[in-house]
Amino acid sequence: MSDSNPTAHDATHGDHEVHEGPIKTPKQLIWAVVAAFVVPIIIIIMLTRYVSNGNQPAAGSDGLGAEATARRLQPIGSIELRDASAPVVLRTGEQVYQGQCSACHGTGAAGAPKLGDAGAWGPRLSAGYEALLNSSLKGKGAMSPQGGGEFSDFEIGRAVVYMANQSGGKLAEPKAPAAAASAASAPN
């Protein structure tokens, strides 16, 4: 048969059924339209409930309490303003030792020579005061630099003398800097 005759071609294919979709009745169409809107809405509602329930604190938790909120909002650091013209009160070597040095030198942590251990301090004492002060201000081994912090270099020097003398040394107390000495001797 030749394809040149269009009516013959249509006649041979006319017996095939027409392509139909899965929806054959108006009732099926209504159910499909309703399902297309309702099912996604139900899924969205279920997801939002799942997510919002996951963020709630555990039973007995004070995560939303006033004290917990205050802890989360407390400042990380603080700024302390000092009056530069105020009289300088120099701390003793023992006070500086208690405030800065005792954590390591009291226990021997990180290889620090313990206060009162003449054997551990002996080689260090032979180096002299200047070497000990330099090591403490700039740091040595596991000890971080102590200069430039809360205590002045003079106060760190007093702590070095205190520790050395408590450990068998006979170092002289360092002389106060001129500004601090005049403030300390000024009448109140």
Of the pLDDT bands very low, low, confident and very high (cuts 50, 70, 90), residue 163 is confident
CA distance 88 to 179: 9
For residue 173, tell me if it sits in a domain. Answer: yes
Of the pLDDT bands very low, low, confident and very high (cuts 50, 70, 90), residue 46 is very high
For residue 153, tell me if it sits in a domain. Answer: yes
Instruction: Look up residue 135 and give its two tokens.
Output: 């090591």
- Dump pLDDT digits (tens) for 172-186: 888 877 765 555 555
Instruction: Look up residue 54 and give its two tokens.
Output: 């996951």
For residue 175, tell me if it sits in a domain. Answer: yes
Supply the DSSP string of 2-34, one letter for each residue.
-TT-HHHHHHHHTTSPPP--S--SHHHHHHHHH
pLDDT at position 35 is 92
Of 85, 116, 100, give the one whose Cα is nearest residue 153: 100
Backbone angles phi, psi at 140, to 5 degrees: -155, 130
Mean of pLDDT over the chain: 78
Print the domain residue range for 118.
93-185
CA distance 144 to 140: 7
For residue 155, tell me if it sits in a domain. Answer: yes
Check: CB of residue 129 under 8 Å from CB of residue 161.
yes
Amino acid letter, 142: A
Check: CB of residue 64 under 8 Å from CB of residue 72.
no
For residue 73, tell me if it sits in a domain. Answer: no
pLDDT at position 27 is 93
For residue 104, tell me if it sits in a domain. Answer: yes
Domain count within the chain: 1
Q: Percent of the chain, pLDDT > 70?
A: 79
- Dump pLDDT digits (tens) for 14-43: 556 677 788 889 999 999 999 999 999 999
Of 140, 127, 128, 136, give the one whose Cα is nearest residue 154: 136
Lowest mean pLDDT of 85-89, 110-114, 136-140, name the range: 85-89
CA distance 142 to 152: 21
For residue 75, tell me if it sits in a domain. Answer: no
CATH code for the domain of 174 = 1.10.760.10
For residue 39, tell me if it sits in a domain. Answer: no
pLDDT at position 42 is 95
pLDDT at position 47 is 92
Mean pLDDT within 69-80: 82
pLDDT at position 142 is 80
Answering whether pTM is above 0.75, one says no
What distances in angstroms separate CA 94 from CA 18, 109, 128, 157, 165, one per listed residue? 103, 19, 20, 11, 11
How many other CB atoms sit within 10 Å of the CB of residue 137?
16
